[in-house]
Amino acid sequence: MHRKRVSLVYGVLATVLIVACILATFAGAVHVPAGEMLHSNIVRLRLARIILAVVAGAGLSVGGVIFQALLRNPLAEPYVLGVSSGAGLGAVFCIILGLSALGAWALPGLAFVGALGTILVVYALARTARGAVPVHTLLLSGVIVNAVLGSILMFIVSVSSADDLHSVVWWLLGNLQISDWRLLQVVSAVVIGGISVTVLLAHDLNVMTLGEEPAAHLGLHVERTKKLFFLVASLMAGATVAACGLIGFVGLIVPHGVRLAIGPDHRHLVPATALAGAAFLVIADSVARTVIAPLDIPIGVMTAFLGGPFFLFLLRRRKPSYGN
């Protein structure tokens, strides 16, 4: 019965994703007849946007699953360890210093460097003299670094010029439109690789949710496993943020909803969450482009609008303990 339920969930999620992608191709701030779309660059731009939404939604969602398993905290998500603030700071410096003129890769490149730098700082702060990385210390280090970087980011924004401020705020609110297919290929490769590793080692995540001591007694190399998954989740989040800015709630809401439908077994939870996250972000972006057309709502604002009430609904309807 459980296998039938898992197969049903996979089928529903795949169908929703395919339908959402097809509808998103024809959804936009300005209506364009299908005949004209085929003879213009609109289809190409929308396909790039849809692909980035699929990749970003899957990466952020699976990143949320990983962090929730490692930290054994159902409220953890890719941004909890400061990855978003680090990437945001790198992007803001790029905009303020005018480095965007160096090429299309300047902003995402500095954003990715900022994310990686933050990862290294958080890891260095959490690491003990013996080389271990306690979960609680890792979480606390991430929260502190995130707060410090967030304060620096807000200070820079507050003293920016009007022209720079618009660009900074627009990027910080999230933007899925991408014109560089090479960047899209790199981000896709990072996310697909990260998800593949997570699927292959999903059993280790199941063991990690039991706690570090029980996991060690079961023969799992706890520290090596934490380092690997921490790196995988952070790289996926960093690549996603570098391409489309800051998008919240996806790594928090999607894993919760999928876990209620399919259970806590990460062998099924990870691929289902990737499908659900991809569909969620494609739908959210389609709504953002059409709900108050011709204005285009930033995707980060839309995910907050959709994710906040849904999360409250889940809390009211059922309050499960993590792992049950």
Burial of 290 (0-12, 13-18, 19+ CB in 10 A): middle
* Position 323 confidence tier, pLDDT thresholds 50, 70, 90: very low
Please state whether 249 falls in left (phi above 0), alpha (psi between -120 and 50) or beta.
left
| Mean per-residue pLDDT over the chain, rounded | 83
Nearest to 236 by CA among 92, 66, 122: 66
Query: pTM of the predicted model, to two decimals?
Result: 0.85
Asked if 266 contacts 202 with a C-beta cutoff of 8 angstroms, the reply is yes
* Position 1 confidence tier, pLDDT thresholds 50, 70, 90: very low
Domain 2-317 has CATH 1.10.3470.10: yes
Asked if 48 contacts 282 with a C-beta cutoff of 8 angstroms, the reply is no
pLDDT in the model for residue 282: 95
Nearest to 17 by CA among 55, 62, 54, 61: 54
